Amino acid sequence: MIQAVGISKNFGARNLFSDVTFSINKGERLGLVGRNGTGKSTLFKIILGKEGYDEGTLTIPKGYKLGTLEQHIQFTKRTVIEECMSVLPKEMEYETYRAEKYLFGLGFTKEDMDRDPMSFSGGYQIRINLVKTLLTEPNCLLLDEPTNYLDIVSLRWLRSFLKSFDGEVVLITHDKEFMNSVVTHTMGIWRKRVKKLKGETDKYYSQLEEEDRIYEQTKANQEKKIQQMQEYVDKYRAKARGASQAQSRLKAIEKLGDMEELEAVSDLRFDFNYTECPAKTVIDVRDLSFGFDQPLFENVKFAIGRHDRIGIIGKNGKGKSTLLNTIAGIHKATSGEVWNHSSLSLGHFGQTNVSRLHPENNIIQEIQEVNTDLSHSAVRGICGTMLFSGDDAEKKINVLSGGEKARVLLGKILAQKTNALFLDEPTNHLDMESIESLMSAIDNYKGACLIVTHSEEILRRCVDKLVIFREGHAEFFDGSYDEFLEKIGWDSEEEGRERKEKAVAPKKKKSVNAQVLAEREKEIMGQIETLENYQGLLEKNIERYSIEGNVEGLQTATDDLDQVQQKIEDLFLELEDITS
């Protein structure tokens, strides 16, 4: 069990998070969520002992082994299998099956076992590191954005592995569907604090919204109460009759104090600018091939209708991005052709385009460049939409991070009038909230969309046709992703064809008197306040027991804290139900 009590972390004058208290208990698979920049990866590093903290205590049992996905590449062995086996004791050096079962699950072939690990792409080298981590059989796995390096097939394997992992897991990923399918608990960094609850991310975010609603309601009620008391004070303070009551109310006002304004939280807001295309078909791909001795794809043909949503899927390294770039005209096809309607206006997001940003431009100049008709204020508005407000919009491209450059490219697409979007892994640098906004924008976009993605959530929500890379070639599939899984599926998976569907009966709302509901709401809020006070007391006890080394007291207080947090969570759910 990992126990954190009152952890705070500052970078100079900037406070990242404060008074962070949580436990990771036996068998828990914890999803760590929060907006980009809130400190998720920093908290990971603190748990791993790679980053210090300013206040609090972190307790990890003696002999408890942590395993993490290292992104630093340092291979010393001649072959993949030797590199993976190097983490095992010498007496296991011939038990190669241990490594092979993981390597095959992550997309390596039998032939790959004897290849030089440095000959693989960066993504596959990260997978080798993941195999090395799994072979050490840690008690707790800490995985920071593992989905960035995996294709759909490997993701499905990893999901199955994590669900059956005999230990604890802490997972950071922007892929909400992947996280929800794996975790038993969600813990989030929100407003510089940490909150943990049992269940998936949707439940966590619903509770945050409810807490904010209650806070704002309480704040409004308190301000109204203070105003009424202040009016009484102003009226009777100078008079003999009522002066003592006025003084009493004045003290009450001082005791109440002011509740702080909740910090405004900015979201990426996508609204793609559509221009009409009169044709039924905007792009026609005709027998397209790329590559000579070993073609990445051959004779690919399909039409893109003006309202089509097409996903390009398959294992990494098979040619998905190359196909997208060839259709876009960035790469020249070996044979075949791409016909574009004369009114085609394309918005293209991809790594190739990110690398073509002009390093000496600032963000305003880079976005203005694609549409000189836009006013300066309109460009500033797009910058703000991409979370570059004020002076940030004047930063030069060459000082931006990879995620910031990706946002600039998305801003350039928003500045254009388009009737087709080409999106190559658009979610890699976005957090969950931004991905939700992007999916909504794709849903609302009137033009065509061609997407390369490993996100099954995007495939299910935003795509109605597919181009599939499998069995050494690319083929068009006129159907949804779930239809593909049902009718064809991934060859390398060992799971059956049966798909279980969860049938959830809709809740019947009771007809309850509004006054009764209001009284129950007030009662719940009182219970929550009492439990939160008790929660604070338990957290102080945990801190004291941790300092004293009182293991029995620490365990009892931790168990009580989990029960209290669960009761608070249940009350919030009831509150949400009666107020909806």
Q: HEC states along 13-33? A: CEEEEEEEEEEECCCCEEEEE
Is 502 inside any structural domain?
A: no
CA distances to 24, 231, 538, 544, 559 from 563, rounded to whole Å, are 14, 44, 11, 19, 6
pLDDT at res. 369 = 92
Is 495 inside any structural domain?
A: no
pLDDT at res. 214 = 86
Please check whether residues 409 and 531 belong to one and the same domain: no
Is 210 inside any structural domain?
A: no
pLDDT at res. 457 = 92
CA proximity to 439, closest of 352, 266, 430, 156: 430
Please check whether residues 84 and 104 belong to one and the same domain: yes
Please check whether residues 367 and 250 belong to one and the same domain: no
CA proximity to 129, closest of 101, 99, 173, 157: 99
Please check whether residues 181 and 222 belong to one and the same domain: no
pLDDT at res. 423 = 95
Distance spanning both ends of the chain, measured CA to CA: 38
Taking the C-alpha atoms of residue 567 and residue 109, their distance in angstroms, rounded to an integer, is: 49
Please check whether residues 422 and 288 belong to one and the same domain: yes
* Three-state SS letters, 509-545: CCCCCHHHHHHHHHHHHHHHHHHHHHHHHHHHHHHHH
pLDDT at res. 129 = 92
Total domain count, the chain? 4
Is 257 inside any structural domain?
A: yes
CATH code of the domain containing 154: 3.40.50.300
Residue that the structure tokens 């038990």 belong to: 95
Contact 404, 367 (CB under 8 A): no
Q: Which two tokens stand for residue 456?
A: 């099954």
Taking the C-alpha atoms of residue 102 and residue 290, their distance in angstroms, rounded to an integer, is: 32
SS3 assignment, position 69: coil
Please check whether residues 392 and 423 belong to one and the same domain: yes
User: With the C-alpha atoms ordered 445, 449, 453, 455, is the resulting torsion angle positive or negative?
Assistant: positive
Taking the C-alpha atoms of residue 103 and residue 84, their distance in angstroms, rounded to an integer, is: 9
Please check whether residues 188 and 222 belong to one and the same domain: no
Please check whether residues 319 and 390 belong to one and the same domain: yes
Please check whether residues 453 and 314 belong to one and the same domain: yes
Mark residue 287 as left, alpha or beta (left: phi above 0; alpha: psi -120 to 50; beta: remaining).
left
SS3 assignment, position 423: strand
The phi and psi torsions of 369 (rounded to 5 degrees) equal: -60, -35
SS3 assignment, position 181: helix
What number of residues does the chain have?
Answer: 580
pLDDT one digit per residue (tens) for the chain, 580 residues: 799 999 999 998 889 999 999 999 999 999 999 888 889 999 999 999 999 999 999 999 999 999 998 877 889 999 999 999 999 998 888 888 889 999 998 889 899 999 999 998 888 898 999 999 999 999 999 999 888 888 888 888 899 999 999 999 999 999 999 999 999 999 999 888 899 999 999 999 888 888 888 888 888 888 888 888 888 788 777 676 667 777 787 777 777 777 777 776 666 778 899 999 989 999 999 999 998 778 889 999 999 999 999 999 998 878 899 999 999 998 999 999 999 999 999 999 987 777 789 999 999 999 999 999 999 999 999 998 888 888 999 999 999 888 888 889 999 999 999 999 999 998 888 888 888 999 999 999 999 999 999 999 999 999 999 999 987 789 999 999 999 998 888 765 444 333 333 323 333 444 446 666 777 777 777 777 777 777 777 777 776 766 666 666 766 777 677 777 777 777 777 776 766 5
Is 505 inside any structural domain?
A: no
Domain boundary among 178, 205, 232: 205
Please, which residues have CB within 8 angstroms of residue 498's CB and are 6 or more apart in sequence?
Answer: none
Is 320 inside any structural domain?
A: yes
Taking the C-alpha atoms of residue 82 and residue 132, their distance in angstroms, rounded to an integer, is: 11
CA proximity to 349, closest of 318, 321, 387: 321
Q: What is the extent of the structural domain holding 20?
A: 2-205
Give pTM, 2 decimals. Answer: 0.71
Is 426 inside any structural domain?
A: yes
Contact 99, 131 (CB under 8 A): yes
Please check whether residues 168 and 249 belong to one and the same domain: no
Is 180 inside any structural domain?
A: yes
Taking the C-alpha atoms of residue 44 and residue 173, their distance in angstroms, rounded to an integer, is: 13
Domain boundary among 171, 186, 205: 205
Taking the C-alpha atoms of residue 290 and residue 334, their distance in angstroms, rounded to an integer, is: 5
Taking the C-alpha atoms of residue 456 and residue 151, their distance in angstroms, rounded to an integer, is: 10
Please check whether residues 177 and 296 belong to one and the same domain: no
pLDDT at res. 505 = 35
CB atoms within 10 A of CB 274: 16
pLDDT at res. 276 = 93
CA proximity to 33, closest of 148, 265, 189, 144: 189
Please check whether residues 67 and 136 belong to one and the same domain: yes
